[in-house]
Amino acid sequence: MRLIKTLVLLLLPVIVACLPTTLGAQAPRTVLVAMVSRLERPGAAAAIIQRMYAAPPYVILLPSDGATPSALIAAMRSLQARRAKDSDNPGRRAVAFLYGGVPPSAQGADELNAANFYLARLSQSPERQVPGIGRAKAVHIPLSSPARGAAQ
């Protein structure tokens, strides 16, 4: 039963993201997560790129030789905080590098399961051309609505 509940929690955002939008509804927001051979900064666990005039406006880069659930969780948390503060329509291009990740004691079970699920999908996805990045394995991860004024 617990396995079914976990699978439903993991697949629900994917299913919702694939549903067609209804009249007047906004398309679901996603972040593109791409696995690259290396990041611009040695030792960085992840990079978050904020792009203007591109969809999706945010990209998370993970190094192919060191992509971990901990790094993906840290990047997703950082992105959620950035979205709550700034918005989903960046006014400028920016890059943030993350060093380290979220310690296991601070990871929620659902958060860890989702990170493992998307990393598995990412490692199995074929390489494709990602605009502004180059050739990389990439997947889209649905994002929840940013909570304005949330504690940072």
Q: Of the ranges 34-48, 95-109, 114-128, which one carries the lowest mean pLDDT score? A: 95-109
pLDDT confidence of residue 101 = 85
Which tokens in the block code for residue 19? 């549903």
pLDDT at 127 over 60: yes
Please state at what angle helix 109-124 crosses helix 2-18, rounded to 10 degrees.
60
pLDDT at 149 over 50: no
Q: Chain-wide mean pLDDT for the chain? A: 79
Strand segments (E) across the chain: 30-36, 46-50, 58-63, 94-98, 127-130, 134-142
pLDDT at 141 over 70: yes
pLDDT confidence of residue 28 = 56
Cβ 80 vs Cβ 69: under 8 Å: no
pLDDT at 146 over 70: no
- Taking the C-alpha atoms of residue 67 and residue 71, their distance in angstroms, rounded to an integer, is 7
- Taking the C-alpha atoms of residue 70 and residue 50, their distance in angstroms, rounded to an integer, is 21
Higher pLDDT, 98 or 3: 98
- Taking the C-alpha atoms of residue 128 and residue 34, their distance in angstroms, rounded to an integer, is 10
pLDDT at 16 over 60: no
Q: Report the candidate in 66, 69, 60, 122 with the shortest Cα–Cα distance to residue 95.
A: 60
Q: Report the candidate in 46, 33, 22, 25 with the shortest Cα–Cα distance to residue 118.
A: 33
Which tokens in the block code for residue 76? 């997703």
Q: Of the ranges 2-16, 70-84, 89-103, 112-126, which one carries the lowest mean pLDDT score? A: 2-16
